[in-house]
Amino acid sequence: MNIPFFSFEKMNHEIKTEITTAFEAFFDSGWYVLGERVRAFEEAYALYNKVNYAVGLSNGLDALHLALKALGVGPGDEVIVPSNTYIATVLAVSYTGATPVFTEPRPDTYNIDPARIEACITSKTRAIIPVHLYGQSCEMDTIMDIAARHNLFVVEDNAQSQGASFKGRLTGTWGDINATSFYPGKNLGALGDAGAVTTNRQEWAEKITILRNYGSRQKYYNETIGHNMRLDECQAAFLSVKLKYLTKWNQSRVEIAEWYRAGLQHAGNIILPGCHPEAGHVYHQFVIRTEDRDKLQQFLNGHGIGTLIHYPVPPHLQEAYASLGYRKGDFPVAEEIAGTCLSLPVWPGMTEGDVQNVCSKISLFYHG
């Protein structure tokens, strides 16, 4: 039995009729950029998150970039980011001209370690970007306290965690401006590239609305050097359909994670992902760690089970950031995770039998 790392099949089957209807209405409307579908999705996404504003954008990277830009982050500033994040978080900082400053994650939750943040704060620090990695919220109450004490902005990177929570409050609602991605494989995914920011402050929502559309509030009048970073009407239409299923699909991911936890308890020399007791985890990924990672991955691949490594090279060791001058050993926790982590298949609609099959193959690898 082949088990792909990810599959849209079950989800797509559920929504095919609604998506087709939404596409036809979009097509017949004759209006393809910044219209009623983007407005309707922004309203629905703000309502879902219980925030005042959501602004639809081209993708998650652009959302992070515009969030920082709207907050006035620029050259000479420093922005604190986790040392084990996806490269997009770091690129967004670079786009503004600011310098990314890495801080280590906790090895159990893989999320930014609040106890290490203050040591990274200098007179140049302007913002912290907590990344809710793999679907689990960072410890947002502590992070918000640190930011308030040092007068810093917080931009949550909520790309992997739509619907996750901390102490009952949704991720993407704590920070000043929060960014998310609707890349197809995210928990809420479009059928192409898309993203958004969420915020409670009208001034920032307005700023980003202008920045995404050539720096223009009124057609052909430009008040700032903006971008073309708009959310497409058709992606907005698809996202409005898929948003209705987010809670159900997240529940499916949580159930899959519970099956993995039960099935992997005695499967071998592996470390299961830690879940903070106050975090409502939505399992964008189920990431185990093992010294035998590469061999285990090969073994599973040989048995038709797809896995991925999120991520094999931490940002500070990427060629793109050679100019920052970091070396191997500078961020040992991030490097350890990169060298040992393995993401197992998680996709809504995966059955208990699928999960048991993965677990029994892992057990076979260790116990023969």
* Residues near ligand PLP, by CB under 6 A: 59-61, 85-86, 88-89, 131, 157, 159-160, 181, 183, 193, 195
Q: What angle do CA 251, 252, 255 make, to 5 degrees?
A: 85
With respect to ligand PLP, which residue has the nearer C-beta, 318 or 351? 318
With respect to ligand PLP, which residue has the nearer C-beta, 11 or 67? 67
- Quick check: 307 and 288 in contact, CB under 8 A? no
Cα four-point dihedral sign 53, 81, 311, 283? negative
CA distances from 83 to 104, 280, 301, 334 (A): 5, 23, 29, 6
CB of 221 to ligand PLP, least distance (A): 29
CB of 143 to ligand PLP, least distance (A): 16
Nearest by Cα to 2 from 354, 239, 331: 354
With respect to ligand PLP, which residue has the nearer C-beta, 239 or 264? 239
Burial 280-290 (b: 16+ CB within 10 A, else e): bbbbbbbbbbb
With respect to ligand PLP, which residue has the nearer C-beta, 85 or 357? 85
Nearest residue to ligand PLP, using CB? 60
CB of 160 to ligand PLP, least distance (A): 5
Report how far residue 132's alpha carbon sits from residue 317's, in angstroms, rounded to the nearest whole number.
21
DSSP per-residue letters across 314-333: -GGGSGGGGGG---TTSSHH
- Helix H or strand E segment including 359: helix 352-367
Report how far residue 254's alpha carbon sits from residue 185's, in angstroms, rounded to the nearest whole number.
16
CB of 186 to ligand PLP, least distance (A): 6
CB of 193 to ligand PLP, least distance (A): 6
Report how far residue 156's alpha carbon sits from residue 143's, in angstroms, rounded to the nearest whole number.
10
CB of 182 to ligand PLP, least distance (A): 7
With respect to ligand PLP, which residue has the nearer C-beta, 71 or 267? 71
With respect to ligand PLP, which residue has the nearer C-beta, 159 or 317? 159
With respect to ligand PLP, which residue has the nearer C-beta, 88 or 243? 88
Place of tokens 């990427």: 318
Total length of the chain: 368
Report how far residue 218's alpha carbon sits from residue 54's, in angstroms, rounded to the nearest whole number.
20
Query: In 3-state terms, what secondary structure has residue 208?
Result: helix
With respect to ligand PLP, which residue has the nearer C-beta, 195 or 315? 195
CB of 267 to ligand PLP, least distance (A): 27
CB of 93 to ligand PLP, least distance (A): 12
With respect to ligand PLP, which residue has the nearer C-beta, 90 or 362? 90
CB of 195 to ligand PLP, least distance (A): 5
Nearest by Cα to 313 from 294, 345, 337, 291: 337
- Quick check: 104 and 132 in contact, CB under 8 A? no
Please name every residue paired with 222 in a beta bridge, in sequence order, or none if there are none.
216
